[in-house]
Each structure stands twice: as structure tokens, then as C-alpha cells.
Structure 1
Amino acid sequence: MKKVKIVILVIIASITSFSAIAQTVPAPGFTIENYYKVKWGHADEFIALWKKNHYPLLKKLLEKGDVLSIKAETPIIHSSEDSRWDFKIILVFKNEHLAFDYSIVDPYKKQLFPDQDAYQKAEQYRFELLLAHWDVPVEAVTLN
């Protein structure tokens, strides 16, 4: 019985050690959070346009491996007007260079959107719905 308890304690200690190591290893890639503040009453319209016109480009970058993950969030409740945002995208790029190379989506624009005039008009309208947009490069903070 003592041997079983010792084995269990060793297993628990090993799991705890691996868990602590996993918490201190920085996540791969370079993360940028994109915030969008939209005119009142137009958030759903903006998000639908973003999904139609921008998300397919990001999915191509994900398939290629330039982007490691894409996550979208929207707040559940409203905050004050000065701190309000309506839509947030969290992008993890393979590296910092790719994160700031705004031309990496260019090869896919004509492929995904052959009617470039319609695409440009839709994108123009999407940006007309915005009150503010900001990008925040972030990094993980090691807590242990």
C-alpha cells in the first residue's frame, strides 16, 4: 500500500512540475488584438461585413501558416462610451514581421473577390460604420 501511495505522490509531483513549466513557457507567435468601435446600432452589420470581406483573407493566412490563430469576441454588456468597443479580433501571427506586413493579404484579394469594385465599395462602407479602430500588440506575462 505504501508503494502505491508513493507512486501516486510521484505522479502528482510530476504533473505539478509539468504544469508549472507550461505556465512559464511563452506562447509561440506574435499577438495583436484589433478593437472596433462601431456607430450605435450598426455593430451586427459591421461584423457581418467583416466576416464576409476580411475573415476569408485571414483564413487564407491561417491555411498558409502565417497566422497561427484567429479569435473573435464581442462584449456581453455595454461599458462607458469612452471605453466602449463592439468587436475584437485576436490574431496570433507566426512572427512580428508578418504581423506588420500589411501586404500579405494582397495575393488573396483578387482570388477571393474577383469583382474588385464591389469589394472596395463594401470595404469602404464597412469603414464608414466605424467610430474608432485600434490595434494593440500584446505579450504574455509570466506569473510564476
Structure 2
Amino acid sequence: MKKIKLFAILLFFSTALFAQDKPLTIENYYKLKWGHADEFIALWKKNHYPLLKKLQEKGDVLSIKAETPVLHSGEDTRWDFKVTLTFKTEHLALDYSIVDPYKKQLFPDQESYAKAEQQRFELVIAHWDVPVETIPLN
């Protein structure tokens, strides 16, 4: 029992020591099936953006920015849609369940919501998230 308490205390203090309460920005990149970017973005705006807006209203997300490239690069480096999110803390950025309370509230027909989300992800060839930080230049 003493070992368990000691382990719990060490875990608590190591988590507190290394946990960051500073904001974290994550760039979310999507490479989509050719010709389906507009469909994906429309589904994203309909099904995911409202969840992010709720998080922003609550203060968990500080900013939301969406971008598409003007020109496409080579196939190996191509991305079609990028969302940049700045979370209030690193903990919130890495807690994927923070949108769960809003899913039923915003989308009472969970079956239709799940079907639309399935369609959205069927359009994705690749997806990657990149945590980034600003580097002071002075």
C-alpha cells in the first residue's frame, strides 16, 4: 500500500511539474481525394466547426483559423485544408473528449451526425496534426 501511495504522489508531482498551462497551437492538415475538397470543407463546417465554436465560447479554444492553398504543390507534399487551433492549455489541446458534451446538444440526431462524419473521413487520404510554437525573432 505504501508503494502505491508513493507512486501516486510521484505521479502527481511529476505531472504537475511537466504539465504546461500555456496555450498550445496545433495545425491540422488534411489531404483529400481529388475533387472532393469542397465537399469535405462543407461537412467540416457543418459538423466539426460548431463543436470548436462551443469550445471557443467556453474559453478552451482561443482561436480558430481555416485555410486552403491557392496553388497545389507536388503530390507528396500536397494538403488541401488546414485548420489552426490555439488551445488555452496543452492539457485541453490533448484532451480529445472535450467536444463530447456538445455533440448531443448540437446534433440530437446522432445517427445522421455519425453518418455525415463517416462520409467526411472517407474523403480523407491523409491527416496529420502538428503542434507548433512561435519563435521570438528578437
TM-score using structure 1 length? 0.80
> Are 2:108 and 1:107 aligned?
no
After the TM superposition, which residues 27-42 of structure 1 pair with which residues of structure 2 at under 5 Å, given as runs? 29-42=23-36
After the TM superposition, which residues 120-131 of structure 1 pair with which residues of structure 2 at under 5 Å, given as runs? 120-131=114-125
Q: Of residues 45, 69, 90 in structure 1, which corresponds to 2:84?
A: 90
**1:76 maps to amino acid:** V
Q: Secondary structure at the match of 2:111?
A: helix
Partner of 1:68: 62
Per-residue deviation, 1:143: 1.1
Q: Secondary structure at the match of 1:79?
A: coil
Unmatched runs of 5 consecutive residues or more in structure 1: 1-27
Partner of 1:46: 40
Deviating beyond 4 angstroms after TM superposition, the runs of 4 or more aligned structure 1 residues are none
Could you list the per-position Cα deviations for residues 24-65 of structure 1 after superposition, in whole angstroms to 9, with x for gaps in the alignment?
A: xxxx61100000000000000000000000000000000000
**2:131 maps to amino acid:** P
C-alpha RMSD of the superposition: 0.7
CA–CA separation in structure 2 for the residues paired with 1:123 and 1:142: 38
**1:39 maps to amino acid:** K
What count of residue pairs does the alignment treat as equivalent? Answer: 117
**Percent identity over paired residues:** 80
Q: Secondary structure at the match of 2:137?
A: coil
After the TM superposition, which residues 11-26 of structure 1 pair with which residues of structure 2 at under 5 Å, given as runs? none
**1:127 maps to amino acid:** F
Unmatched runs of 5 consecutive residues or more in structure 2: 1-21
Per-residue deviation, 1:142: 1.1
